[in-house]
Homo-oligomer: A and B are copies of this chain.
Amino acid sequence: MAAGYHLKARRLGIETPNEAHIFMHKDCHVCRAEGFAARTSIVVTNGQRSVVATLYPVTGGLVGHDEAGLSEWAWKELGLDEGASVSVGHTPPLESLSQIRGKVHGQKLDALSLRQIITDIAGGRYSGIHLSAFITACAARALDYEEIHGLTRAMIDVGEHISWGGRMIVDKHSVGGLPGNRTTPIVVAIAAACGLTIPKTSSRAITSPAGTADTMETMAPVELDLATMRRVVESEGGCITWGAAMGFSPTDDILIRVERVLDLDGEGQLVASILSKKLAAGATHLVLDVPVGPTAKVRSYESAQLLAQSLLDIGRSFGLQTKVVMSDGSQPVGRGIGPALEAHDVLAVLRGDTMAPADLKEHALGISAALLELSGKAEEGHGLSLAADCLSSGRAWTKFQRICDAQGGMRTPPVASHLRVIGARHSGLVERIDSRRLSRLAKLAGAPDAKAAGVELHVRLGTPVSRGQPAYTIFAESPGELDYAMSYVEANPDIVGLTLT
């Protein structure tokens, strides 16, 4: 389009993850000639590589009149060296935005529109404002079957794929929303120990205090490239890696960052998010764990059924065999909430500690059983005994250690240096545990960025407690975060609800 202008690239060291910022002098010839103002979208090019960057004009001496200051993300995407010349120009109009406006007003998104939107997102052409409008529109105007199919297809196609040469590839996924539900490392260990191939990719936290990738990272490296992942799986039959590092469905991670800010993800986007990653990773058989409870992500069996049906239907249309396991989501699973705290629970189950949380063990065995049956490794009704035997014999624990070593070496999850025990306010029976507020509390304490931070729960529903008996403990890595969590506890004394006796 318009002729490009050349400026000297200047590295400013500003971290703007997944988004490019450019800083140009307000009075430089380019801003004057092109009418560039604050937040103008600009194409920045270095040879064959280009990014769309948001402009922030600068007065004073931060950048010279012939310089373009660039944020770290832009710098790396463009593969720049200090002082290199970059060209800058107008971005073409964002045509796919009109598809989103149509959706807002009730029109359907067809496959082509979804492909244009996802391609623009993958190309870095959507700002946070645009991404937020897309996510909100798809949550407010629920996506139908064809839209979810089109979105899933577009999200797969825009990223990497892996082929396993026609082999059966099993996978599992939990719909989330339930703190501490960290079954994946246990299920992968059992499935791989039983001879299945399970190249598991996981997410970091969306709105929860820990994602499986965050928890696994406290036990082994998870940012593996495709070649390393393949090597781990060829030698051990399984892995647990961070999906985004693999390049599968790369727009999912971009959408997830905005969903996390809004604490919002619609059903259609949830289905496309799950399936696009599984299908890009080559899965042929998938078990889905859907916890249902008043404070879980899915709150009723009716909505769980709808979600399950959508996952089964869309999965089938891509040739994926899917089984949905619904489970009790009325309280957190295990004791820990937060990356390292959940890892300690996982290790206790795998090692067969007598104090290991029984609910986490049972839940992991149930999912493993479904996988063993779906894949034909066990006959219908015999999956559970096979899984339990694999765990109690220590074969799963051995397999898990081998996987961690293959991923780069096993680590010991950290322990937080600051803690506070919260006692029961009076005697009674535990009649309610608010998973949502526990999650918020764990996040205020620093999770998931502070790996050792979070909450450890000492009671279960129906437990009798005495006044002052520990109900839960808050862990933080800094005194400021602990204070901050404590002020939330003071404002919310009923996170664990007790009967009045």
Contact = CB atoms under 8 A, between A and B. Distances in A.
Interface of A: 1-3, 11-17, 21, 23, 26, 32-35, 37-39, 56-62, 71-72, 90, 93, 97-98, 100-101, 103-105, 127-133, 135-137, 139-141, 258, 261-264, 266, 440, 444, 446, 449-450, 453, 477-481, 483-484, 487
Contacts of A101: 262-264
Contact of A38 (B17, B33, B140): B17
A262 B105 CA distance: 13
A72 B56 CA distance: 11
B14 A480 contact: no
Contacts of A444: 93
Contact of A37 (B2, B56, B449, B453): B449
A35 B477 contact: yes
A135 B135 CA distance: 12
Contact of A104 (B35, B37, B140, B258): B140
Contacts of A11: 60
Q: Which 10 A-B pairs have the closest CB atoms?
A: A13-B60, A132-B132, A140-B140, A136-B136, A129-B132, A2-B484, A13-B59, A128-B129, A33-B478, A2-B480
Given A15-B59, A38-B17, A132 B140 contact: no
11 contacts: A2-B483, A14-B23, A14-B57, A15-B26, A32-B478, A34-B478, A34-B480, A97-B263, A128-B129, A133-B133, A136-B136
A104 B139 contact: yes
Main secondary structure of the interface of A (DSSP, over half): mixed
B139 A132 contact: no
A440 B93 contact: yes
A88 to B, nearest CB: 11
B38 A15 contact: yes
A216 to B, nearest CB: 20
Interface centre among A2, A16, A34, A97 (most CB of B within 10 A): A2
A261 B61 CA distance: 29
A37 B443 CA distance: 13
Contact of A62 (B14, B16, B137, B446): B14
A439 to B, nearest CB: 12
Nearest to A37: B449
Given A2-B487, A33-B479, 13 more contacts: A15-B38, A34-B480, A35-B481, A93-B444, A97-B263, A104-B136, A104-B139, A105-B140, A129-B131, A129-B258, A133-B135, A136-B137, A137-B140
Contacts of A17: 38-39
A477 B36 CA distance: 12
Given A2-B480, A90-B484, A262 B97 contact: yes
A12 B62 contact: yes
